[in-house]
Amino acid sequence: TGTLMAGKRGLVMGVANDRSIAWGIARAVAAQGAEVAFTYQGEALERRVRPLAESVGSKLVLPCDVTDDASVDAAFATIKEAWGGLDFLVHAIGFANKDYLRGRYLDTPRDVFLQALDISTFSFVSVSQRAVPLMKPGGSLLTMSYLGAERVTPHYNVMGVAKAALEASVRYLAVDLGGIGIRVNAISAGPIKTLAASGIGDFRYILKWNQYNAPLKRNVTIEEVGGAGLYLLSDLSAGVTGEVHHVDSGFHVVGMKSVDAPDI
């Protein structure tokens, strides 16, 4: 525990359970004195999120479905009423129809494309629109991306396109908000076994491939993503915006399969 985030209040969106990346970040900032509010999607997840939130002393646990503007408005209205302001926001939300997280990107239908980009990309813009008016200079917005935004990774398909648009959104938002002292960054995490990841075809193979070929020869944990999240949400990163920071055991630097990687 420490005091890096003492006096800061933030909203963490995207905890589904104790394996969620959002939970890794929430725990890291709470351990440094941040006061954290949580949103969850739907009643089924409330039963999982509420006890986690309470374990880090959170008093604000709110429903929010990013496809429903009224629900997003209501969540931010509650934050405004309770806190009057906001210092940071974590957006760890993504979704695509899993029937299309396998096979060819070529075969993506329009409705699947639009839904994936709506939930995984536009929602970051949408929640930023509501968060920014609550922020003062020093505010920090953070979202979550993956290497599939930059290069083709197996089965990631429409999510890769959504993450490419998300990373570009980070850069545009960083310019929009830099003048008022608000920073916007993303973490590009290596593969982690979460609820969302279980929808991706051959995910176990992807985990093994990263483990064998990443410079650190292992996969990353939500605690490690939490550490990087803490940095990007705290004043330690005061000079950093528009950045996509890789937390992936270094996998993104590798150009070829490692010569000593075992067969998978």
Which residues 6+ apart lie within 8 Å of 182 measured at CB? 132, 135, 137, 138, 139, 140, 141
Residue 99 has φ and ψ, to the nearest 5°, of -60, -20
> Contact, 68 vs 79, CB < 8 A?
no
Rounded to 5, what percent of the chain is helix, strand, coil?
A: 50, 15, 40
Which residue blocks in 132-247 are alpha helix, DSSP H?
157-178, 203-213, 222-233
CB of 153 to ligand NAD, least distance (A): 10
CB closer to ligand NAD out of 140 and 194: 194
User: 3-state class of 195 per DSSP?
Assistant: coil
> Contact, 86 vs 138, CB < 8 A?
no
**Which of 89, 86, 83 minimizes the C-alpha distance to 25?**
89
146 is catalytic: yes
CB of 263 to ligand NAD, least distance (A): 23
Question: Which one of 105, 146, 172, 205 is the catalytic residue?
Answer: 146
Give the CA angle between residues 233, 28, 35 to the nearest 5°: 70
CB of 20 to ligand NAD, least distance (A): 3
Question: Which one of 100, 156, 212, 231 is the catalytic residue?
Answer: 156
CB of 123 to ligand NAD, least distance (A): 7
- Token pair listed for 106: 């070529």
CB closer to ligand NAD out of 5 and 15: 15
CB of 33 to ligand NAD, least distance (A): 24
DSSP string of 121-150, one letter each residue: IIHHHHHHHHHGGG--TT-EEEEEE-GGGT
The number of beta carbons lying within 10 Å of the beta carbon of residue 2 is 9
CB closer to ligand NAD out of 121 and 241: 121
CB of 177 to ligand NAD, least distance (A): 20
Residue 142 has φ and ψ, to the nearest 5°, of -135, 135
212 is catalytic: no
**Interface residues toward ligand NAD, by CB under 6 A:** 14-16, 20-22, 41, 45, 64-67, 92-95, 119, 144-146, 189, 191-192, 194-197
CB closer to ligand NAD out of 64 and 137: 64
CB closer to ligand NAD out of 16 and 177: 16
CB closer to ligand NAD out of 33 and 231: 231
Q: Which residues are catalytic?
A: 146, 156
